[in-house]
Amino acid sequence: MKLRVVIPALNEAPTIGEVIRRIPRQIAGVSEVGVIVVDDGSTDATRATAEAAGAVVVRHNRNRGVGAAFHTGVEKALDDGADLMVNIDADGQFAPEDIPQLLAPILNGEADFVTASRFIDRGLYPDMPRAKFWGNRMMSALISFLAGEKYHDVSCGFRAYTRDALLRLNLFGRFTYTQETFLDLSFKGLEIREVPIRVRGERATGKSRVASNLWRYAGRTTQIIFRSFRDYRPMRVFGPVALFLMALGLLLGSFLLIHYLRAGSLTPHKWAGFTAAFAFTLGFLVLTTGLVADMLASVRMNQERILYLLKKRK
């Protein structure tokens, strides 16, 4: 089986050479190992350092974001005929020597997608700022709730994929890809596993290009998650809103009716009638939007199935 290790990189010259050299070239069950570095518009010696270490470098002329770099890496790995792909960060937080451990559930036929987990084993918790630690835990809880499965770490950038998982993957976020990947593959019924691995909590040098500003990261990531959930499970987004509005309309309407039967007049609660009509109408419109979105989701799933089959035949 052919393995491609994809490394997105932006100005990682101090660490990327060592990361590449430490990648195992002999792995049981793997016949060929290649390294692809996606240089996302670096202005330092990242490209030259990666090529000197033996990697194939695909370069973006400008910084397009880690999500876009991941897309480029996936496309290159598939073009190379990879049966397996591992993506790992260029900053040295993850140990390349753990790649065989990450691949084991896939090679054993137990999973389609495997992620390193920093939080599944308390003994392996990394040393990181408290805000970042709890931010990761809260994000994992959110993805677990939306996907209907328990996940401990949905933001780790050290992962392994089968070719089939890569062919089925359809992501739209350019800022990041980590959480959207969980939702996309989970909604498609692929087997997902977490492997407890010890990682460094902070970068060896510099600062994170994605999560350097936690509020910005949380905002943009939540936007990506919402869009993904809306597209795959629209009735779980629109349904509760529509139910609340229509129930509010019925409640206010019932209140006004009871008042009229008792007092023989709508005064002084005419406001309840107007509000009830508005809430019920708005709820009906939201419900209609949800039903239309649900039909579009079915069309999307069918189109993605056709796209998967076309990719598979290439």
Q: Cβ-count burial of 207 within 10 angstroms (0-12 exposed, 13-18 middle, 19+ buried)?
A: exposed
Confidence of residue 257 (pLDDT cuts 50, 70, 90): very high
Same domain, 27 and 63: yes
Contact 41, 10 (CB under 8 A): yes
| Final residue belonging to a domain, choices 232, 248, 274 | 232
- Would you give the distance in Å from CA 259 to the centre of its chain? 52
Same domain, 184 and 58: yes
Contact 96, 23 (CB under 8 A): yes
Which pLDDT does position 139 carry in this prediction?
87
Same domain, 132 and 186: yes
Phi, psi of 219 (to 5 degrees): -65, -50
Same domain, 10 and 135: yes
Which pLDDT does position 202 carry in this prediction?
63
* Domain count for the chain: 2
Question: How many Å apart are CA 251 and CA 226, to the nearest integer?
Answer: 30
Same domain, 71 and 181: yes
Q: What is the mean pLDDT of residues 54-64?
A: 94
Q: Which of 89, 95, 80, 101 is nearest to 33 (CA)?
A: 80
Same domain, 92 and 46: yes
| Final residue belonging to a domain, choices 188, 205, 232 | 232
Which tens digits make up the pLDDT trace of 15-31?
Answer: 999 999 999 999 999 99
Same domain, 306 and 169: no
Q: What is the CATH number of the domain that holds 30?
A: 3.90.550.10
| Final residue belonging to a domain, choices 174, 201, 232 | 232
Same domain, 228 and 247: no
Same domain, 6 and 66: yes
Expressed as residue numbers, the domain containing 195 is 2-232
Same domain, 124 and 273: no
Same domain, 191 and 289: no
Q: What is the mean pLDDT of residues 206-227?
A: 68
Which pLDDT does position 163 carry in this prediction?
96
Same domain, 174 and 141: yes
| Cis amide prior to 100 (ω within 30 degrees) | no
Give the three-class secondary structure for 220. helix
